[in-house]
Amino acid sequence: MFCVGSIYDGGNFRLSIKAAMQQSNSRIWSSSLGTSEIQQITIGGDVTSEHQRIVYMTNSSIDGVAEVQDVEAVFEIFQIGFEGAYTVLLDGPPQPEVVQEALNDLPTIFPLSVTVALVGTAYRVTFPIEMGDVPLLTVISTAFSRPQTATEIVQGIASGLKIAFRLNGAITNYLNFREDDISETTLETEFMNLFNIRCPPSLNNQQAAPSIVYINEFEISSPYDETFIITDMAFCGRRALTNSNEYLVNGNTLTAEYMCFAYKITTTDPIFMNFQVQSDEDPPVIEHILLTLRNDSRWHYKCINLREMLEQYSMAYLTVTSFLISRVYLDYYIPSRVMIDTVTLRDSLPIGYEEDNMIMSTDQSSTGLCRFPFVYNGQNRSSCILDEDYMPICGLTPNTKFYCQNSSIEGVRRLFPKYQLLDNSFQITHSAMSHTIDISFRFTACMSPSLIEVLPPTVGQVISITNASKPVNGQYSIMFNGQQYYPIPAKITGSNLANLLQSFSDFGYVAVARAGECAQYSYTIQWLTNGEQPLISIANSSEVRPIDAPMTVLSIRSGSTISVFYNLPNDILRTYHMTPQVEVLVGGYPSYCSNENNNCQFQWSIDHTPTIISVEQNGTMVTIHGTGFSAELEANMISIGKNGSCDVLSANTTSIICTIVNAPSGRQILQLNIADKGLASSNESFIVDVPLLITSFDPAGGDAGGGYQLTIFGSGFSSSALITLGENLCGNLTVVNFTSIKCTVPPSGSMSLIRVTVIVIDGSNLATASGQFTYNTTNTPTIYAIDPTFVTMLGGLLNISGTGFGNDDVSVFIDTSSARVLDSSNNHILVNLSILPPGLYPITVRTSMGFARPLFHIEYRFYVQEVSPQIGSAYGGTDVYVQGAGFENGTRIQLRDRNNRLFPCNIVSIQSNQIHCQTASTARQVTITSNGIHPTFGFGYAWFPSRETVQQGTVVTWYWSSAELRSPVYYKIQQVANAYSTELVPNGFDSGSATSSGSFSYQFDRVGTFYYLAPNIDQSSGYAMRGVIDVVALEPEIMTVETIWDKFTGSIICTVGLNLSAGHHAVTVHVDEIGNSNSDIFYTHDLFITSATPSEGGYGGGLSVMILGYGFNGTDVTINICNQSCLSVEIVSNVQLICVTPEVSMVEVNSSCNLTVTVNGISKNTRFTYKANLTAIVTSVSPTRGGTGGGTRITIIGNYFP
């Protein structure tokens, strides 16, 4: 809003405003005016958790037996595995205590422990009695081609004093329910630990490794995220440090020799750590140290010798006796693509520590190099991994598994959970009195848990109370804006669903937020532009699982549209006036009035309006009575109809006399316009009747051969006029003006002197000349024959034989073109024909004795008779043979489709009656540009169109440019699997490296739907421009074969004869020496009525009415008046009918109705009026009887007798 005020009274004020609306490439979300539509799709019902009840016993007294197994000593490097976790590398044969330390560092044995003794050539491993019968140990080594197993010496029997629980292969610690107070917190910790990555205890457990003085595992509560992959998110436990603002070490008070930590780096930026060091008695300082770490996006474990690091950083530390690391943190600008986990300060290295660069030499197979990365269970693996048999592998092909001979800490030395727990779903209730534990939980992805096992099985059982909800999956279809779309995955991320919906042709741009989890999802869909949208409906959900899973669609908010931009109101730019002002708007904005006081006024005044009161007509003389006329003759402008005029003879303020000089015949509206006043007003429309008259014609006669010009003088002529000489139309009619008309005299077939009537027909009016036109047949030249009767378009020589040509002054015309006469005599003419388009042309011979007759025609031939073959490949290369006539060198062949697209047929050879050519490809060309507008990002951030339907073989070309954008954008075209995928299709179309401007073309030969994207268009959001190409089957295309020479096209042009009746006529072409063509193509010749005379009569009928027009020479001709058949119909000629009117019931008023002429099924109407005052009425006859001898005088009394 712009407001202007003043504190002064009186005075003048002028405000000038210059306004323009500047186009801007908006990147805003949406206007604050109006609202965007929000709808929500919900899939799945109420969520239930897995509920199991454990019933255990504490009174079991069994004499337990410890499990004993022998592992043969290996004289090479080996590792021992138990329950899926493997020891450090053992360089054999090591001492028994080394093997014992390695086994007790397994997360599947700790916090219990085994003992190891050397018995003969074997390591004898004795398990704790609580474990009872356990699986056999596994050995991997460079000495074996595949893993080996231990030998069971004594099968263990669990004592039952302690109880453990196993779920999906993972086992809790053994708990003493008999003697210890096992709380729900303890049980929750134990069960939750089953879903962590369990590392060797020497890495992060101070009980197992007393040398650890500080530990940080960064474990926090884990919100549910279905995309959560624990191997990506943690090295040990469940979470890792991802925030560079947090400390790796904070508040440490003990000295340490080493700092160990796990890390994963996905950036190439240098990694600096800040160490707060307090050395000897000096105050703490911050040392900014660059670390050399691997940035391959994989987890690694590294230990740093702190003294060596500090001494390398600064020589000052060479003289330091002791130091303390109290804090460690990353540089604040380190990106979030750095993860840190399992940080410890310690005095000794973990058991079997290896440098982080050793993985490629450690994780190897016994038969060759490991295939890293390799895919297992749908994920890329970069180190050894356990297969379904708990055997470590490091490569997989369809026929071969590569078993690990060794594995690093990055591989199988850690124990990975099989499934992930939904943290906030876990609940546990323990009743020590009833010896029951109730556990409810759910797995991510709604995986079905197995039944918990009690170890040993003899001391408890597990009951399933309820099963967890099944995951939602499958696909469904929706209906939107009258269109059905399928398939829509029931389980899909919000961003992927947005991309999928946007790929539909009329859905628009949307943002989608997904809530819920695997058993129930809700997708909130918000359109990015304001406005109301049709409500989505579920069309078919039969493929959604679980069966009968509920699905609902809700309208959260209805959209509305309010125009953000509007034209600047003109009132703002107006000045105050008491009279209306003239405005000139340019581009919607008013122009400035430069007159004094900005006054550009105009007023409508009744006092300034002329008025017509009456109009009188006497022939062509018209008198107008009224008021407000001008006494100046030129100021009174009178129009008759649309184009006619009336010349003013005299005028004063109340009367004008004019004569009609230029006006079309018939009843015409009269209008009066007075200069400086405008049109005159009247209470009714004033009609003048302009007569159609023939006053004379010139010449009065001529030779019977015709062909010369006839000029007719009169009044009322218009462009729709027709002229007949007898029964023949006068051709080449030219209307000079309303008083003069010209035409070419047609030839006469009469062999003797004949006079014919000259008639002008104009609409419903007809004028007949008072005199007649005379055809003179004396000495009329006569044509007997022509040779040849047809030529090519190049023309050639023509012989005309006859009589009466004379010996000089001979001219020959082919249609209207003059032919050069080479020789002539009284009975022979030789001419050279010029080039003309194909067609049948009349030959006109003009001599000193007049025009020759009868009329002969010469045919210029250039036509196609046959095309073979008639079916060919859409990709071109078909040999086509065109048979016909009139082919010359330089003739071209082209194919025209129904949309007038032209395709060349490349000439191979040309003969006069045959052309051999080869077709070109008919592939269509479609263009897609980067000029689309995205509601959020703006111009240049969407393909236009974003979805296109093409036929097989179409070549699609993408064009892009960021020249008009504020900052460069780099585009490329890559084919992907579906509307939301980022996975490239193998061997799919790809434009190569991204560029700021360029183009790319691809021909689509297969039917299907093809998706593509331009990745990472917006760097900050990762937005990708997507599009869809729908390729449908190539439809057969019917082509017209056209032969072209110079500018002429091979075809036949004919003129319809004057005597052809109205109707549907089969078109047949007859070719000499060949025969007739097909006759299944029809030409419709229309019916026309120009007038009916008289156009009014009495109700008693019996009046002869002459109807003029053309098309009357039909075999089935009927005439109805007021839906009654004429008493008789006479066909005088193709242009004239006579009808005797039928009798109709009389009424007191005039009845105007249709006079309908129907010829061969085609009908046309004109008007006929029955009038009471034209109907003779007999009221009485006197006397009413007389003698049979006659002679009685009868008096008839009535009305309307002539």
Q: Which of 2-11, 741-750, 998-1007 has the lowest mean pLDDT?
A: 2-11
- In this prediction, residue 142 has a pLDDT band, given cuts at 50, 70 and 90, of confident
Tens of pLDDT, residue by residue over 89-117, are: 898 799 999 999 999 999 999 999 999 99
Is the per-residue pLDDT at 362 higher than 50? yes
Question: How much is the pLDDT for 13?
Answer: 55
Q: Collect all residues with Cβ–Cβ distance below 8 Å to 891 and sequence separation of at least 6.
A: 907, 910, 915, 1043, 1044, 1045
d(CA 386, CA 408): 13
CATH number of the domain to which 293 belongs: 2.60.120
DSSP 923-964: --EEEEEEEEEETTTEEEEEEESSEEEEETTEEEEEEEE-TT
Residue 109 belongs to a domain: no
Residue 488 belongs to a domain: no
Question: How much is the pLDDT for 28?
Answer: 34
Q: 212 and 344 share a domain? A: yes
Q: Collect all residues with Cβ–Cβ distance below 8 Å to 1155 and sequence separation of at least 6.
A: 1092, 1105, 1107, 1119, 1120, 1121, 1139, 1165, 1166, 1167, 1168
d(CA 502, CA 1023): 13
Helix (H, G, I), strand (E, B) or coil at 361: helix
Q: From 854, 849, 778, select the one nearest 811 (Cα to Cα).
A: 849
Whether 116 and 128 have beta carbons less than 8 Å apart is answered as: no
Return the structure tokens found at 1142.
């039928």
- The phi, psi pair for 1172, rounded to 5°, reads -65, -35
Looking at every residue in the chain, the average pLDDT score rounds to 86
Tens of pLDDT, residue by residue over 443-473, are: 887 888 889 999 999 899 999 999 999 999 9
d(CA 1046, CA 541): 64
Q: 831 and 872 share a domain? A: no
Residue 206 belongs to a domain: yes
Q: Which of the listed residues 322, 350, 378 is the one where a domain comes to its end?
A: 350
Residue 325 belongs to a domain: yes
Q: Which of 816-825, 846-855, 1106-1115 has the lowest mean pLDDT?
A: 846-855
Residue with token string 């040392």: 287
Mean pLDDT of 230-247: 86
Question: How much is the pLDDT for 5?
Answer: 57
Is the per-residue pLDDT at 606 higher than 70? yes
- Report which of residues 39 and 701 the model is more confident about: 39
Q: How many residues does the chain have?
A: 1202
Q: Which of 297-301, 596-600, 1096-1100 has the lowest mean pLDDT?
A: 596-600
Q: 931 and 1011 share a domain? A: yes
Residue 118 belongs to a domain: no
Is the per-residue pLDDT at 43 higher than 60? yes
Question: How much is the pLDDT for 1189?
Answer: 66
Q: From 186, 185, 240, 244, select the one nearest 216 (Cα to Cα).
A: 240
Q: Collect all residues with Cβ–Cβ distance below 8 Å to 238 and sequence separation of at least 6.
A: 195, 196, 197, 219, 222, 230
Q: 796 and 916 share a domain? A: no
Burial class (CB in 10 A: 0-12, 13-18, 19+), 913: exposed
- Report which of residues 966 and 137 the model is more confident about: 137
- In this prediction, residue 437 has a pLDDT band, given cuts at 50, 70 and 90, of very high
Question: How much is the pLDDT for 25?
Answer: 34
Residue with token string 């009357």: 1112
* The residue type at 293: L
- In this prediction, residue 1104 has a pLDDT band, given cuts at 50, 70 and 90, of very high
DSSP 752-765: S-EEEEEEEEETTE
Residue with token string 């014609």: 697
Q: 269 and 310 share a domain? A: yes
Q: 805 and 673 share a domain? A: no
Burial class (CB in 10 A: 0-12, 13-18, 19+), 994: middle
- In this prediction, residue 564 has a pLDDT band, given cuts at 50, 70 and 90, of very low
Distances (CA, A) of 486 to 44, 254, 520, 726, 948: 19, 64, 20, 74, 17
Distances (CA, A) of 1166 to 511, 1033, 1088, 1090: 65, 52, 10, 8
Number of structural domains (the chain) is 6
SS3 content of the chain, % helix, strand, coil (to 5): 5, 45, 45
- In this prediction, residue 363 has a pLDDT band, given cuts at 50, 70 and 90, of low
Buried b (16+ CB within 10 A) or exposed e, 673-688: ebeebeebebeeebeb
Q: Supply the range of the domain harboring residue 1116.
A: 1082-1177
Q: 940 and 904 share a domain? A: no
Q: From 545, 469, 480, 525, select the one nearest 506 (Cα to Cα).
A: 480
d(CA 1168, CA 1156): 10
d(CA 814, CA 857): 8
Residue 852 belongs to a domain: yes
Q: From 1144, 1147, 1146, select the one nearest 1155 (Cα to Cα).
A: 1144
Residue 450 belongs to a domain: no
Whether 650 and 624 have beta carbons less than 8 Å apart is answered as: no
- In this prediction, residue 243 has a pLDDT band, given cuts at 50, 70 and 90, of confident
Return the structure tokens found at 644.
């006619």
Q: 246 and 326 share a domain? A: yes
Whether 868 and 833 have beta carbons less than 8 Å apart is answered as: no
CATH number of the domain to which 931 belongs: 2.60.40.420
Strands 338-346 and 212-216: antiparallel
CA 269 vs. chain centroid, Å, equals: 43
Question: How much is the pLDDT for 566?
Answer: 47
Q: 930 and 981 share a domain? A: yes
d(CA 891, CA 901): 19
Residue 378 belongs to a domain: no
- In this prediction, residue 1147 has a pLDDT band, given cuts at 50, 70 and 90, of confident
- In this prediction, residue 626 has a pLDDT band, given cuts at 50, 70 and 90, of very high
d(CA 1202, CA 87): 136
CATH number of the domain to which 1147 belongs: 2.60.40.10
Q: Which of 231-245, 292-306, 561-575 has the lowest mean pLDDT?
A: 561-575
Mean pLDDT of 287-307: 91
Q: 985 and 856 share a domain? A: no
Q: From 112, 105, 161, select the one nearest 134 (Cα to Cα).
A: 112
Q: Tell me how far apart the 2 most distant CA atoms of the chain are, in Å.
A: 173
- In this prediction, residue 807 has a pLDDT band, given cuts at 50, 70 and 90, of confident
Is the per-residue pLDDT at 1088 higher than 70? yes
- In this prediction, residue 206 has a pLDDT band, given cuts at 50, 70 and 90, of very high
* Rg of the chain in Å (alpha carbons): 53
Q: 809 and 909 share a domain? A: no
Q: Collect all residues with Cβ–Cβ distance below 8 Å to 1174 and sequence separation of at least 6.
A: 1096, 1097, 1098, 1200
- Report which of residues 404 and 300 the model is more confident about: 300
d(CA 38, CA 40): 7
Q: Which of the listed residues 861, 885, 904 is the one where a domain comes to its end?
A: 861
DSSP 247-265: EEEES--S--SEEEEEEEE
What single DSSP character describes residue 283? P
Mean pLDDT of 739-757: 85
Whether 4 and 432 have beta carbons less than 8 Å apart is answered as: no
- The phi, psi pair for 437, rounded to 5°, reads -130, 115
Tens of pLDDT, residue by residue over 213-222, are: 999 999 876 5
Whether 71 and 463 have beta carbons less than 8 Å apart is answered as: no
Q: Which of the listed residues 690, 721, 756 is the one where a domain comes to its end?
A: 690
Question: How much is the pLDDT for 839?
Answer: 81
H/E segment holding residue 499 = helix 494-502
Q: 215 and 330 share a domain? A: yes
Tally of CA atoms within 13 A in the half-sphere of 1151 that contains its CB: 19
